Structure 1
Amino acid sequence: MFDDYERARHSVTKLHVHLIFTTKYRRKVMTPEVLESVLAALKIAAEDLGCSLLEANGEADHVHLLVSYPPKVSISEMVNRFKTRSSRKIREEYPGILDGGKTGLFWSRSYFACSVGGASLEVLKKYIENQTTD
């Protein structure tokens, strides 16, 4: 029954969050290649925190993430690490990507986070899987 739950010394958990990040000013800067780099950086950031990126995809101006995370990681810490890691990688790989922007920032400061669980996980996975980049 608890095969897919995370077991720790004093807890058994199954925590999932649906995150959405948008680019600063919703600029459409994520080509398929840029999106691939962003998702690779997000996967590494997730692993560094002990999280699992269950599904990830996006479009030119935003990404959707479905993340499984341990109880010791706060959502705000997760978001901060994800945005920092991915924006650094994009600046390194695509130095001119933010030219013409007012602030030089890749991500908007805001984010969407929603806890998810149970039967809705499969529906959410399908939704994220079907996100496309124009």
Structure 2
Amino acid sequence: MPQSLANLYVHLIFSTKDRRPILSEKVRPDLHAYLATVLANLDSPAIIINSVEDHVHLLFKMSRTVTLAKVVEEVKKSSSKWLKTQSPEFEQFAWQAGYGGFSVSESNAGQVANYIRRQEE
């Protein structure tokens, strides 16, 4: 086969350090946009991103050339640095060390997207 193909959907979840409820409604839209940009730069386009005060959910199509560990590292590192510049309340911001990454079938991606969309409920 002369070319490679991958169609992988990933549901990624990670929390603020110590599950601190610091992600205010004011910062979330810009955070989501920033996370989507980081994913796009990794050739892993976002389907949907949403969050509540203490954690984030991302559904994206995984690049065939980047590992999940690298995506998580870049997303968390970049967004943490960015958040620290947004307001004095974020100067000490950090994400929790761990994460949950789950494969999602293409046929279930819509259901997962709806679950993520309705996080605050």
TM-score normalised by the chain length of structure 2: 0.92
Please give the secondary structure, in 1, of the residue aligned with 2:78: helix
Match of 2:101 among 113, 123, 132: 113
For the aligned residue pairs, the C-alpha RMSD in angstroms reads 1.5
Give unmatched runs, 5+ long, in structure 1: 1-8, 99-103
1:24-45 CA distance string (max 9 Å, x none): 0000000112222221221111
Paired residue type of 2:94: F
Q: Are residue 126 (structure 1) and residue 119 (structure 2) matched? A: no
Residues in 1 aligned to 2:81 and 2:63: alpha-carbon distance in whole angstroms: 25
Q: Which residue of 1 aligns with 2:53?
A: 60
Does residue 88 of the first structure (1) align with residue 76 of the second (2)? no
Q: CA deviation at 1:10?
A: 1.6
Superposition map of 1:1-134 within 5 A: 10-98=3-91, 104-132=92-120
CA offsets 1:34-83 (integer angstroms, 9 cap, x no match): 22222122111111111101011010000100010221110000001100
- Percent of residue pairs bearing the same amino acid type: 29
Q: Distance in 1 between matches of 2:8 and 2:72?
A: 15
TM-score in terms of structure 1 length: 0.83
Instruction: Determine if contact 2:13/2:100 at 8 Å carries over to the other structure.
Output: yes
Question: Could you tell me how far apart the structure 2 residues matched to 1:113 and 1:46 are?
Answer: 14
Q: Which has the higher strand share?
A: 1
Question: d(CA) in 1 for partners of 2:50 and 2:89?
Answer: 23
Structure 1 counterpart of 2:118, one-letter code: N
| Structure with greater Cα Rg | 1
Question: What is aligned with 1:101?
Answer: none
Q: Retained in 2: the 8 A contact 1:57–1:132?
A: no
Number of matched residues? Answer: 120
- The one-letter code of the counterpart of 2:48 is E
Post-superposition shift, 1:105? 4.4
Matched residue type, 2:5 = V
Runs of 4+, deviation exceeding 4 Å: none
